[in-house]
Amino acid sequence: MNKVLEALNFRHACKQFDPEKKIPKDKLDEIVECARLSPSSFGMEAWKFLILESDEIKQKIRPACWDQAQITDSSHVIVILSTPALVGKDSEHVKKMFARRGLDADAVNAYLQRYADFHKNEREPYMSEYAWCCKQCYIALANIMSAAAAENIDSCPIEGFDKNALEQTLELDPEKEQVSVVVALGYRAGAQTPRFRRDASEIINYR
Amino acid sequence: MNKVLEALNFRHACKQFDPEKKIPKDKLDEIVECARLSPSSFGMEAWKFLILESDEIKQKIRPACWDQAQITDSSHVIVILSTPALVGKDSEHVKKMFARRGLDADAVNAYLQRYADFHKNEREPYMSEYAWCCKQCYIALANIMSAAAAENIDSCPIEGFDKNALEQTLELDPEKEQVSVVVALGYRAGAQTPRFRRDASEIINYR
């Protein structure tokens, strides 16, 4: 069977973690590497990953995360940050991300023009730079969860947080980085709630 | 090594597909199943997957996709649709997704209230329902790409399309479903461009 499908068959939204079980460092490193290797639109990688391992910091952010027990019972919490300030069409970061491809100046300028056109025509009418970066962050989120599941490590993705409060607690500068999504990782405790999915016939069509 | 990490080490944005090589049906089915099993916020699964296999439909949408050759050279193109109309707090779909958990009426109502509060406080200030659904679609996008890579199948995620033109070409009703993102799948032809990623020290922090 496809190894990612195997992982997804294991995965569910873990509601109860065993607070005694910690993810070994080598396994965590591989999960984090999956986040780093995730693709992003135009290769912008406009994200950061805050890996929370101390009990203190997890305790501290729990109130901003709807006081959910997964925050403190899990082994590690990864806060995925989006960095919208980096992706403006005239930003140094954007130029650097295109230039690293080893292209000549004309080719880089052609990319920059296409990038500017994309944002004007296909991003701005639909969402902010923050939301656009968040979409990319969700690619990394998925890979973190699947990579964890491939090692029988449980995860719980968390959108249930007070964004402003969480950013303040983590002492982030929202001009530079904003919370996109949170994911708790660890090992399940006891029986878990069943998983439900819509039937393929409702959501999949071939043409 | 972690199987998802292995897959991500294989994966890159494939710029040139071999138009002669088609993905076997059993492998495609497993990739599509990975999309279906993807998690989504509050378990809403507000997505659809249009799997384009005929040369005719791929030819037809290519102009709306910046005339990119990957659309027609790839084996299959999956158009991931978001269905924002389903996720309104009073929609039947939302009630159904909570009710399927087998909870009593009070528990369902508590979920509905939490869901309504979430949208009011944490979604509306930052993005539209469409953008919120798109984020979830990117989880499925990631799993499609990783599942493909686990079978040495190449992929190219595509944000470069004219959303309105693509929806018209596919004869979608934007009131019901809107294009979120496109991904081409197939087999690479010849040497590929190198992959670049930011250094871990730039994007990963431990606390």
- For the stretch A68-117, pLDDT in tens is 999 999 999 999 999 999 999 889 999 999 999 998 999 999 999 999 99
Instruction: Give the gap in angstroms from C-alpha B171 to the nearest C-alpha of chain A.
Output: 12
The DSSP symbol for B175 reads T
Specify the pairing of strand A47-52 against strand B204-206: parallel
Separation between Cα atoms, residue B68 and residue B53, nearest integer Å: 16
Instruction: Give the gap in angstroms from C-alpha B7 to the nearest C-alpha of chain A.
Output: 9
Which residue of chain A has the CA closest to B32?
A204
CA dihedral for A195, A198, A200, A201, sign (positive or negative)? positive
Do the Cβ atoms of A207 and B126 come within 8 Å?
no
Instruction: Give the gap in angstroms from C-alpha A182 to the nearest C-alpha of chain B.
Output: 12
**pLDDT band, very low/low/confident/very high, at B192 (cuts 50, 70, 90):** confident
Among B12-21, B157-166, B184-193, which is the least confidently predicted range? B184-193
pLDDT (average), residues A52-74: 97
Do the Cβ atoms of B100 and A11 come within 8 Å?
no
Separation between Cα atoms, residue B202 and residue A36, nearest integer Å: 10
Contact (CB, 8 A) for B186 and B144: no
Residue B44 confidence (pLDDT): 98
- Using an 8 Å CB-CB cutoff, list chain B residues near A196: 43, 97, 100-101
- For the stretch A170-201, pLDDT in tens is 999 999 999 999 999 999 998 888 899 999 99
Separation between Cα atoms, residue B201 and residue A95, nearest integer Å: 20
Residue B191 confidence (pLDDT): 82
Separation between Cα atoms, residue A29 and residue A16, nearest integer Å: 23
- For the stretch B195-205, pLDDT in tens is 999 999 999 99
Query: Which of B3, B97, B127 has the CB atom closest to A131's CB atom?
Result: B127
Residue B193 confidence (pLDDT): 82
Do the Cβ atoms of A39 and B3 come within 8 Å?
no
E-strand spans in chain B?
47-52, 76-82, 154-158, 178-186, 204-206
Query: Which of B48, B130, B139 has the CB atom closest to A142's CB atom?
Result: B139
Do the Cβ atoms of B204 and A32 come within 8 Å?
yes
E-strand spans in B20-125?
47-52, 76-82
Q: Which CATH number is B3-90+128-190 given?
A: 3.40.109.10
Separation between Cα atoms, residue B155 and residue B113, nearest integer Å: 40
Do the Cβ atoms of B204 and A36 come within 8 Å?
yes
ipTM: 0.98
**CA geometry: angle at B65 spanning B61 and B66, to 5°?**
130
Asked if CATH classification 2.60.40.10 holds for the domain at A3-187, the reply, yes or no, is no
Do the Cβ atoms of A57 and B118 come within 8 Å?
no
Do the Cβ atoms of B45 and A203 come within 8 Å?
yes
Do the Cβ atoms of B127 and A122 come within 8 Å?
no
pLDDT (average), residues A114-122: 97
Residue B190 confidence (pLDDT): 84
- For the stretch B98-133, pLDDT in tens is 999 998 999 999 999 999 999 999 999 999 999 999
**Domain residue limits, chain A:** 3-187
> For residue A179, what are the β-bridge partners?
A81
- For the stretch B51-60, pLDDT in tens is 999 999 999 9
The CB-side HSE value for A52 (13 A sphere, CA atoms) comes to 24
Instruction: Give the gap in angstroms from C-alpha B72 to the nearest C-alpha of chain A.
Output: 14
- For the stretch A126-157, pLDDT in tens is 999 999 999 999 999 999 999 999 999 999 99
Residue A41 confidence (pLDDT): 97
Which residue of chain A has the CA closest to B120?
A162
